[in-house]
Amino acid sequence: MDPALSVVRLTVREAIHTLSSSEDCGLILSTLRFLKRYLGETEDPALPEEQEEFATVHFSAFLRCLVIKLSPVWLELSPDGQLEELWDSFFLKGPADQAFLVLMEALESTAGPSFCLMKMAQLLANFLSQRRMAALMEEQCRPQKKPGFTLLQETLLNKVVGLPDHLGNRLQQDNLALFFPQNYFPLLGEEVVRVLQGIVDALRGGLDCSVSFMSRVLGKICIQGRQKEILDVLVPQLTVLTQGSCLWQRVCWRLMEQVPDRTMEAVLIGLVEATPGPEVLSRLLGNLVVKSKKAQFVMTQKLLFLQYQHTTPMLQSLLGYLAMDSQRRPLLIQALKELLETWGSSSAVRHAPVTQQHYLSAAILICLAHLREPELRDSQDELLASMMAGVKCHLDSSLPTVRRLGMIVAEIISSQIHPEGPPLKFQYEDDELSRELLALAIPGTSDSSTVLAGGSAPAPTASETLAKTMDDGVESANGSDPQVGPQGSDSDLDSDDEFIPYDMSGDIELKSNKAPLYVRDCMEVLTSSEDMERWEAALRALEGLVYRSPEATREVSVELAKVLLHLEERTCVSGFEGLRQRALVAVIVMDPARVAEYLTSQFYALNYSLRQRLDILDVLTLSAQELSRPGHLKRPTQQVSCGSGAPVLATSQADCTGVSGWRTVVEERIRSKTRRFSKQGFPRRELASSPSEFNSVAGYFFFPLIQHFDRPLVTFDLLGDDQLVLGRLTHTLAALMYLAINTTVAVSMGKALLEFVWVLRFHVDIYVRRGLLSAVSSILLSVPAERLLGDLSDELLEARSWLADVAEKDVDEDCREQAVRALLLLERLKDRLLPLSH
């Protein structure tokens, strides 16, 4: 045995014996100071081999002895605090990995709350504050040949990452703020950066290092859900450090490549969310997506198809990263093909949530913005086939948002894949959704990535051209004309620019007053007149005439409804659909039973278009709402219109407004100057009250619509392809049920509607399911609670289990919310009736 090694062993053994048995403060202090020679902390340090033996063989046992001796009485042996300072120094100056493990072991085994427990917790806080965690992790990155090194690393990994959980469970309410996850993991992120800096410095000095332990630490933190805390610290610093250093980039690439497969997904998702753009992501990841199958699956499959909660900037970073290198661009093309295949799947359009379809559409447009024309031409036929299938599926959807997604994506795809052909154009609403998607198709910041990959930028899309045209229009409006004719030309001589244009903004088109004065005359003009001006005047006057002549309307109500239902726009009339709809509603209000019976019979008749059937549902809902409104026959005069399009009695209305204006001012002044000690005598305007006209005719509206929904016709099949009409029918029935509140027929309507809902409860179309859930809520609101639980108790019990299933498992968020609201209504009904049962 080496004599020097024997000396170290004997010295440590004697020191432990002295600490265990002696109460002499001077002897204890001298013993501890002598042992500090083996840490190299004195003027006369021990030999290197002695220091190595002490650190590897005896240090942990000596620290455990110090932990055992820790007590308030023992520390008070030295009133000046020298003993406590020496005690702390062995944990803060010795090998960091052993000191950390002994501290964690002591914290877990010490009973608490106690002085010893809090003392060691404060010492661990000092350990972290003095950057000893960086020394611990840096030691694990150096080449090691010690036996059991793998087991030591696994233990350290669990203790380092799980420190907030361990300390939180142990200290409970006495936990220190530094050990909270929101404070500890950012600190650990700073330590990781220091370790990486030490690795870079070592590599520059020609030393070997490994980042495997750091990769495992990063992966374990991320898989525990703490990506944001650590990556918000790591990513900004690594972004700066990798900007001008190839060595730093290589270290980061190696750091990501060494992340274990089971934690790769959590790391990549957190990294893509935290990076500010594709350039930074490319510097941090390199070609990881090409080298690692797991990373490739996460980046090109899971983040695109299985998860759709991510933001649009994250999608741009992800797909821009794939586009920035020639080795990664084939993955981008393959991702576009798979995205279009899923986008064009009828099953996906039918069953996927709207948010996921929006996510897929945005991903497709971002891919197109990054790809060049030659790359698209190679897969032109395949992409066009997927696009055509997808357009059909989206246009067949009953949800307006899904249809608009299909239109926008199809327009942009066709303009990029087939630029030489005629452009594909749709008419859709210009809202925030459409503007967002059109902006994604314009290669803005992605141009730099395309240039880096080699090649020219893709051809401008239709939306880009539209945006440029709008910009040019703005410039022209501001007076910056791009083309200026030569001075002295004829155009300058004939110019009228010096004249001030006359303000014609308030002018209206003058028309001869050809409006009919009777309902029959209006009906005759609409059916047989060839005078388009007279035809338009009759259409505009019809609603007012119907309300002013109820008896004359009832004589021809069914014939007039038939005329309006089949009326087509012969000339360009502003607001034609609204005028026709309001006139038809007025006819139903004047003669509800006969006209509703006619319209409901025509809903299931042959030779009607889907548009006409939807119009029937709309006017039935609006007229039922009008009939259920108190005082609905007191129509405001401004809704009666004449042939010129201006309101009838407009002058008198203005006069009345002027006359009533001063009265309102005077009354308001009197009210403000009058002191009142009680508001009981304060005059209040009474609300209009009258019996609901819908009470006696609700059955004419409701039951014929619900009777024949399961009988297909040659051109009309509600349970087949006409899902849009079925969805509108469910919403109409729900509205009629709600408007039938407090009516005598409400119970029968509710029972029939529950049977209708039960038949269609598993329908695949989202719009239909929304209508069914709305119908259940209408039943719960309209049918008296006593009758619900008395006559419909079995149906409600079955509906409750279905609602619970929808609230938990339905793919559509609106369906889940409606199911929850219906369940709350059920609970409220039960709670309201429980006191009555007792």
At 315-362, the pLDDT tens digits run 999 999 999 988 999 999 999 999 999 998 888 888 888 899 999 999
Report pLDDT for 149: 80
**With bands split at pLDDT 50, 70 and 90, how would you rate the model's confidence at 3?**
low
Q: What is the DSSP string of 646-686?
A: SBTTHHHHHHHHHHHHHHHHHHHHHHHH---S-STTS--PP
Query: Is the predicted pLDDT of residue 547 greater than 70, yes or no?
Result: yes
From 269, 141, 119, select the one nearest 196 (Cα to Cα). 141
Report pLDDT for 658: 42
**With bands split at pLDDT 50, 70 and 90, how would you rate the model's confidence at 266?**
very high
**With bands split at pLDDT 50, 70 and 90, how would you rate the model's confidence at 636?**
very low
Q: Which of 44-48, 629-633, 757-761 has the lowest mean pLDDT?
A: 629-633
Residue 663 CA to residue 281 CA, distance in Å, equals: 70
**With bands split at pLDDT 50, 70 and 90, how would you rate the model's confidence at 820?**
very high
* Region 197-203 average pLDDT: 92
Residue 525 CA to residue 564 CA, distance in Å, equals: 12
Q: Calculate the alpha carbon distances from 155 to 44, 151, 812 in Å.
A: 35, 6, 45
Report pLDDT for 524: 86
**With bands split at pLDDT 50, 70 and 90, how would you rate the model's confidence at 506?**
low
Report pLDDT for 495: 52
Report pLDDT for 7: 84
Angle at the Cα of 198 from the Cα atoms of 197 and 200, rounded to 5 degrees: 65
| Cβ–Cβ under 8 Å, residues 214 and 192 | yes
Residue 834 CA to residue 815 CA, distance in Å, equals: 29
Q: What is the DSSP string of 205-252?
A: TT-----HHHHHHHHHHHHTT-HHHHHHHHHHHHHHHTSS-HHHHHHH
Q: Which positions ≥6 away from 584 have C-beta within 8 Å?
A: 561, 564, 565, 615, 619
Q: Which of 240-244, 401-405, 591-595, 656-660 has the lowest mean pLDDT?
A: 656-660
619 or 383: which carries more pLDDT confidence? 619
**With bands split at pLDDT 50, 70 and 90, how would you rate the model's confidence at 835?**
low
Top mean-pLDDT range of 13-17, 164-168, 461-465, 505-509: 164-168
Report pLDDT for 662: 58
Q: Is the dihedral of CA 777, 779, 781, 785 positive or negative?
A: negative
Q: Calculate the alpha carbon distances from 465 to 28, 439, 468, 477 in Å.
A: 85, 12, 5, 18
Per-residue b/e over 481-513, b at no fewer than 16 CB within 10 Å? eeeeeeeeeeeeeeeeeeeeeeeeeeeeeebee
* Region 236-257 average pLDDT: 92
Report pLDDT for 383: 86
Residue with tokens 């380092």: 160
Q: Which of 76-90, 466-480, 544-558 has the lowest mean pLDDT?
A: 466-480
Q: What is the pLDDT of residues 147-199, one digit of tens each?
A: 678 888 899 999 999 999 999 998 888 899 999 999 999 999 999 999 999 99
Residue 829 CA to residue 792 CA, distance in Å, equals: 13
Report pLDDT for 431: 82
The SS3 assignment for 641 reads strand
* Region 718-739 average pLDDT: 90
Report pLDDT for 56: 83
Q: How many residues does the chain have?
A: 838
> Identity (one letter) of the amino acid at 412?
I
Report pLDDT for 687: 53
**With bands split at pLDDT 50, 70 and 90, how would you rate the model's confidence at 496?**
low
Residue with tokens 């269609």: 760
* Region 234-244 average pLDDT: 92
- The mean of the pLDDT values for the chain is 81
From 524, 552, 557, 553, select the one nearest 538 (Cα to Cα). 524
**With bands split at pLDDT 50, 70 and 90, how would you rate the model's confidence at 486?**
very low
Report pLDDT for 632: 58
| Cβ–Cβ under 8 Å, residues 229 and 189 | yes
Q: What is the pLDDT of residues 734-776, one digit of tens each?
A: 999 999 988 889 999 999 999 999 999 999 888 999 999 999 9
Q: Calculate the alpha carbon distances from 211 to 202, 253, 483 in Å.
A: 12, 10, 62
From 579, 584, 664, 670, select the one nearest 619 (Cα to Cα). 584
Q: How many percent of the chain have pLDDT more than 70?
A: 83
The SS3 assignment for 831 reads helix
pTM for this one? 0.72
Query: Is the predicted pLDDT of residue 492 greater than 50, yes or no?
Result: no
Q: Which of 88-102, 116-130, 453-467, 780-794 has the lowest mean pLDDT?
A: 453-467
The SS3 assignment for 273 reads helix
Q: Which of 179-183, 263-267, 641-645 has the lowest mean pLDDT?
A: 641-645
Cβ neighbours of 213 (radius 10 Å): 21
Residue with tokens 């990155």: 141
**With bands split at pLDDT 50, 70 and 90, how would you rate the model's confidence at 94?**
confident
Q: Calculate the alpha carbon distances from 643 to 254, 311, 546 in Å.
A: 79, 52, 14
Report pLDDT for 623: 92
The pair phi, psi for residue 175, each rounded to 5°, is -65, 145
